[in-house]
A and B are shown apart, each in its own frame.
Chain A
């Protein structure tokens, strides 16, 4: 059977398009481009009748750092559990690294490193013994290289010195690092990291971000879930946004940003005059503030705006071009703020 990810009825929402926006989005990926994760109509309804994930169509291009964004409780972890075959979907299908799941779980998961819902280890074992235990569970891991692989993984997350310490004595940050080390035990084509910076201090967060970039540079696809917009913005090339179990948007971050317009903001005491000048330049969406005026810049050049303001006798105290943040995009998509703490 063919291994093309778009086969077998898996109609993939083209990356870059807004969900439910039939005409939109630039076709950045060639049709049939390699996808590490594809889901089609993936749905999970729990026994209580609650729909945790509703008809999810994800397309994660190979080689991307894919941010899976959403407030706590929006279905991110359930999705990840389904991807890994821990939870059986109520409906829908999915593929990991081209293999149809859940039939391919045994062959594929060895090439996938996963951090799911926080670290979990045996408290009475050392960090090193814990990694050895998980390595033993992987049927394709080579026992002859296990010590070297564990050593490297611990080194990469900066835990080499604490390798022999019991997990019980690890701090929250060390536990999180050990969980990341566990995802790096073998050669991986895909890393699935669920909230990898949870419990880390700012320094640890920076290190994880650096590590993710480094891993991605080696060609590994990284699928990272987070409820922190800023974090995803700094790490990821692509993003998908979940809200209440539904996919709100997905695509390259640049494309999503392009859906929100660049604005220009003028700080001035002469608010009315400045607004008139901006209107004269044909800029739309003029908003008057207290001591500032802003307008959608679109493809307009900021220097032309500046010149026009000066020519018009407006006292310009400050001029700034505001590129949309992911938060602006999110607000634009959902009509509401991104509640960081869910």
Chain B
């Protein structure tokens, strides 16, 4: 049955029972206040979906906690930049530091790659886990979930919108880091053509383009983590529980990754692929690792979104 006929049925129903003297065009909720409201018009499913997504995104990006996290994320590259600038060349040359860090003082663009490869290990996952872990459990916790579903948002629709919104947040978080690092890098260090890890040189703008590729890659990695957090979020009414268990999963994966004897597990760990974007700093771009990484991300996203869906659509909402 289409929404159109449903709506029309409503207005006819009200006309039939309208109190004499009331304008029949006014429906139940509006008859007394006297201000006319045009009869409801059919809303396309896509438009309704986008409206809910817009509401969700608005809520996410107005929430002080989320804004604070984005703020912290964009401050860290500034700190890294200042530290490198102040202590540039002062001792400890390259002792254990990733090769990318040594290059920052030579070209500001490298600060972006360095900041992303550093933050992707813990800071970005924490922020994504907070937002995604809170997405369903948080609504259940304050009781708004029952009203959204009674509205009726539709369980599949709500879950899809929630995930889409979290992916948007992932993109925003990664972009915040990248933009801040890019600006600081350009302010504090020389800019210009970039010498790649493979030895060749590419123009500056080409380098910025490659940063864009890295941003998308890291976002994909975070989106995969967001699917895990979303699935956990459907299991509880306490968002801290979902957030904490997501972080436990990340930390366990990092630990497993660090044990050489368990190297057989490594290709299956989400965390193994998050910083695997070195390939863009080679010429030609080494797509092998990144392709593999994207496959792993897609697999995680598919599996955990399915778990979330199966759980959420069959769940009793008692909160």
Contact = CB atoms under 8 A, between A and B. Distances in A.
A188 B7 CA distance: 10
A55 to B, nearest CB: 19
A171 to B, nearest CB: 18
Given A137-B153, A139-B48, A87 B31 contact: no
A142 to B, nearest CB: 5
Contact of B13 (A87, A138, A152, A189): A189
19 contacts: A86-B150, A88-B316, A105-B152, A107-B3, A116-B147, A117-B146, A120-B144, A122-B144, A133-B59, A138-B152, A139-B45, A140-B3, A144-B41, A145-B40, A153-B29, A188-B29, A189-B10, A218-B14, A218-B22
Interface in A94-150: 105-112, 114, 116-118, 120-125, 132-145, 148-149
Contacts of A187: 10-11, 14, 27-30, 40
Interface string A157-169: 0000000000000
Contacts of A242: none
Interface string B31-56: 11101011011110101110110110
Contacts of A156: 29, 32-33
Contacts of A121: 142, 144
B187 interface: no
Interface string A193-235: 0000000000000000000001101111000000000000000
Given A85-B152, A116-B146, 16 more contacts: A85-B149, A110-B7, A111-B6, A114-B150, A117-B146, A122-B142, A124-B64, A133-B55, A139-B45, A141-B43, A145-B40, A187-B30, A218-B18, A218-B31, A218-B32, A219-B16
Contacts of A278: none
A84 B150 contact: yes
A219 B15 CA distance: 9
A123 B139 CA distance: 12
A127 B244 CA distance: 31
A326 interface: no
A186 interface: yes
Given A137-B152, A188-B29, A143 B51 contact: yes
Contacts of B143: 117-118, 120
Given A118-B143, A148-B35, A185 B29 contact: yes
A87 to B, nearest CB: 4
Interface string B215-238: 000000000000000000000000
B29 A186 contact: yes
Given A88-B316, A139-B154, A187-B11, A120 B30 contact: no
State the 9 A-B residue pairs at the shortest beta-carbon distance, nearest first: A120-B143, A219-B17, A187-B27, A136-B55, A109-B152, A137-B151, A139-B48, A137-B153, A86-B317
A141 B49 CA distance: 11
B311 interface: no
A156 B33 CA distance: 8
A81 interface: yes
A140 to B, nearest CB: 5
Identify whether the interface residues of B are mostly helix, strand, loop, or mixed: helix
A220 B171 CA distance: 46
A220 B28 contact: yes
B90 interface: no
B151 A120 contact: no
B158 interface: yes
B154 A136 contact: no
B19 interface: yes
B151 A134 contact: yes
B63 to A, nearest CB: 7
Contacts of A134: 147-148, 151
Looking at B29, B43, B64, B148, the one whose CB has the most chain A CB atoms below 10 A away is B29
Contacts of B42: 140
Contact of B30 (A114, A123, A152, A217): A152
Interface string B275-319: 000000000000000000000000000000000000000101110
A137 B148 contact: yes
B146 A86 contact: yes
B18 A137 contact: no
Interface in A64-109: 81, 84-88, 105-109
A124 B48 CA distance: 24
A7 interface: no
Interface string B111-153: 0000000000000000000000000000000111011111111
Nearest to A114: B150
Contacts of B146: 81, 84, 86, 116-117, 120
B317 A81 contact: yes
Contacts of A143: 43, 47, 51
B35 A136 contact: no
Contact of A109 (B63, B142, B151): B151
Interface string B177-207: 0000000000000000000000000000000
B151 A138 contact: yes
A142 B30 contact: no
B108 to A, nearest CB: 38
A135 B154 CA distance: 13
B97 interface: no
B83 interface: no
Nearest to B158: A137
Contacts of B85: none
A300 to B, nearest CB: 40
